[in-house]
């Protein structure tokens, strides 16, 4: 009897990019250990001290320019391609990361729910553009010409994540949900596994070590993403 379609949704976090040299948030020495997110990744922080917030994101953007996708990113892109080519079901990749490493590896059905560090947005006219340079507070928006309106296109704490309608729709039909390299501390992303379970999905956690909600998952595998993800994806396609 042929198997019915098996729809996959994958959620990635900072752990999938850790071995590409990009800092995670909560690991010892992680980004938030040095900077207080509530002081930098909130609209209030930006309103209070825009230069300080721009400096933080400009530094992270500069750090991202030389970062390269790793074996975990490539394994996910290959899994997506093989899954869709074989018509085995839908495939959706939701990332909490604001880097472009999934794109570098060739992932196509990708949704950045917390925005993208290599995009800048004008708070006056909404113009959104790819920008690998430094965001200057006094720079004029390339579209409307106003100054002091440019910000990184990232979702700060207290702001609405992107693509939630699309994500929840995919979670209603999901058969296999995999969370990769995320500590499960930020909502609503951390609640997606519960939505998946409600839809009857098999849930998997692939990470370096158990996160805050690990006991919820049906299956867990721990180790560096560059080892665990290719191994798991290879067995799934086998
Ligand atoms: C929202 C973009 C309403 C910016 C990010 C009080 C006040 C205000 C809000 C809240 C509040 N209490 C709760 C909230 C909600 C809040 C929240 O969850 N706060 C937390 C701190 C409790 N959430 C929000 O504000 C969100 N918006 O709620 O709007 C709403 C609600 C419902 C429905 C609609 C609307 C917006 C949150 C988005 C914030 N922006 N990023 C930027 O990057 O600067 S969050 C940022 O942190 C990331 O995007 C990511 O989501 C999160 C970090 O988490 P992880 O990716 O998991 O990284 P972490 O370091 O934590 O973990 C790394 C993992 O990898 C670990 O498990 C580690 O073991 C593993 N690992 C490490 N190395 C490896 C590895 N794994 C494999 N291999 C390795 N080598």
Do 48 and 145 sit in the same domain of this protein? yes
> Model confidence over 180-230: pLDDT tens digits?
999 999 999 999 999 999 999 999 999 999 999 999 999 999 999 999 999
Do 131 and 169 sit in the same domain of this protein? no
- Global confidence as pTM: 0.96
The domain that holds 1 is classified in CATH as 3.40.50.1220
Residue with CA at minimum distance from ligand 1 atom 22: 186
139 CB within 6 A, ligand 1: no
Of the candidates 102, 112, 114, 153, the residue annotated as catalytic is 114
* 102: annotated active-site residue: no
* Number of folded domains that form the chain: 2
Do 39 and 96 sit in the same domain of this protein? no
Atom of ligand 1 nearest to the CA of 32: 60
Do 231 and 172 sit in the same domain of this protein? yes
Do 126 and 209 sit in the same domain of this protein? no
Q: What are phi and psi of 6, to 5 degrees?
A: -120, 105
Cα(16)–Cα(205) distance, integer angstroms:
12
The domain that holds 123 is classified in CATH as 3.30.1600.10
> Model confidence over 109-163: pLDDT tens digits?
999 999 999 999 999 999 999 999 999 999 999 999 999 999 999 999 999 999 9
3-state secondary structure of 153: strand
Cα(189)–Cα(208) distance, integer angstroms:
18
Q: Which of 126, 154, 182 is the last residue of a domain?
A: 154
Do 34 and 8 sit in the same domain of this protein? no
**What domain range is 100 assigned to?**
1-22+69-114+162-238
Do 222 and 185 sit in the same domain of this protein? yes
């Amino acid at each position: 009897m042929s198997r019915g379609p098996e729809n996959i949704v994958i959620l990635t976090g900072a752990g999938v990019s850790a071995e590409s040299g990009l800092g995670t948030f909560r690991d010892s020495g992680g980004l938030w250990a040095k900077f207080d997110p509530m002081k930098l990744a909130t609209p209030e922080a930006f309103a209070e001290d825009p230069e300080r917030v721009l400096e933080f994101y400009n530094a992270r953007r500069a750090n991202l320019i030389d970062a390269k996708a790793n074996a975990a990113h490539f394994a996910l892109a290959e899994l997506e391609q093989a899954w869709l080519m074989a018509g085995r079901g839908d495939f959706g990749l939701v990332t909490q990361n604001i880097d472009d490493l999934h794109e570098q590896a060739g992932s196509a059905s990708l949704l950045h729910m917390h925005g993208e560090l290599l995009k800048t947005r004008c708070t006056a006219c909404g113009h959104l553009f790819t920008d690998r340079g430094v965001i200057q507070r006094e720079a004029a928006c390339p579209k409307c010409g106003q100054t002091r309106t440019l910000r990184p296109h990232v979702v700060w704490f207290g702001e609405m994540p992107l693509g939630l309608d699309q994500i929840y729709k995919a979670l209603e039909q999901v058969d296999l949900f995999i969370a990769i390299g995320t500590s499960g501390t930020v909502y609503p992303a951390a609640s997606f596994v519960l939505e998946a379970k409600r839809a009857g999905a098999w849930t998997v956690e692939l990470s370096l070590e158990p996160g805050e909600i690990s006991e919820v998952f049906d299956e867990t595998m721990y180790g560096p993403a560059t080892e665990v993800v290719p191994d798991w994806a290879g067995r799934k396609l086998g």
